[in-house]
Amino acid sequence: MSNIKLIAFDLDGTLLDSVPDLAIAADQAAQALGYPAVSEQQVRDYVGNGADVLIGRSLSRSLTVDPSLSAELLTKARELFDDYYEQSGHKLSHLYPAVKETLAELHQAGFTLALVTNKPSKFVPDVLAKHGIDHYFSDVIGGDTFAEKKPNPMALNWLLDKHGCQPSEMLMVGDSSNDIKAAKNAGCRSFGLTYGYNHGEPIADSKPDFVADSIAELIDAVAVCA
């Protein structure tokens, strides 16, 4: 029997391919401000560090946000992005294969499941409900729930405290280096998925404890964690 009791999941790039909707919103915001269009492929590399960084990268057309962009411009761009993203209705986003089945099996087996995403909190409940996975999570933590987001371990440490778990009893499941770093910073193990958004870098480079091509492999991994 595994000693893992608590499993924390990232959202975008791990459970949900949300880039099609994010890319449209980022492109609309950029063009509304007179900046060049950004493509879905570009946005796939830009996501993972929260909406502020995403829109900064979109305006800069680079992983490095242009330091000459003013705070006022970035604030306006973020407001436009939020409006366009909300208007999207998340119609183009979809769950990755085996996500719902895996969550259902883990939930049925008695694991405590939590969501820890850098996505703005206000968008998360609707996205989870729309895809029928909201009822699996005991806790839903967005990118602005705490003062720091991943890779800071603040959210994971809060979960450990709330559920009375030791770091050895928690597993972080994600697709980006931020997820793996957050796990390491919290002292817990990590499960890295190869298909998500990791700025174009292999997730194996971040040295998670497990590397998988499918989230379904998580079922076997939690039995190996003991």
Strand ranges in the chain using DSSP code E only, listed in sequence order: 6-9, 16-17, 94-95, 112-116, 139-141, 170-174, 189-193, 210-212
Q: Is residue 17 annotated as a catalytic residue, yes or no?
A: no
Within 10 A of 1 (CB to CB), how many other CB atoms are there?
A: 5
Chain centre distance of CA 224 = 24
The backbone region for 13, taken as left when phi is positive above 0, alpha when psi lies in -120 to 50, beta otherwise, is: left
Q: What distance, in Å, lies between the first and last C-alpha atoms of the chain?
A: 7
Pairing of strands 94-95, 16-17: antiparallel
Which of 10, 12, 27, 179 is an active site residue? 10
Distance CA(127)–CA(136), nearest Å, equals: 13
CA-wise closest residue to 11 among 108, 149, 109, 111: 149
Which residues are known to be catalytic?
10
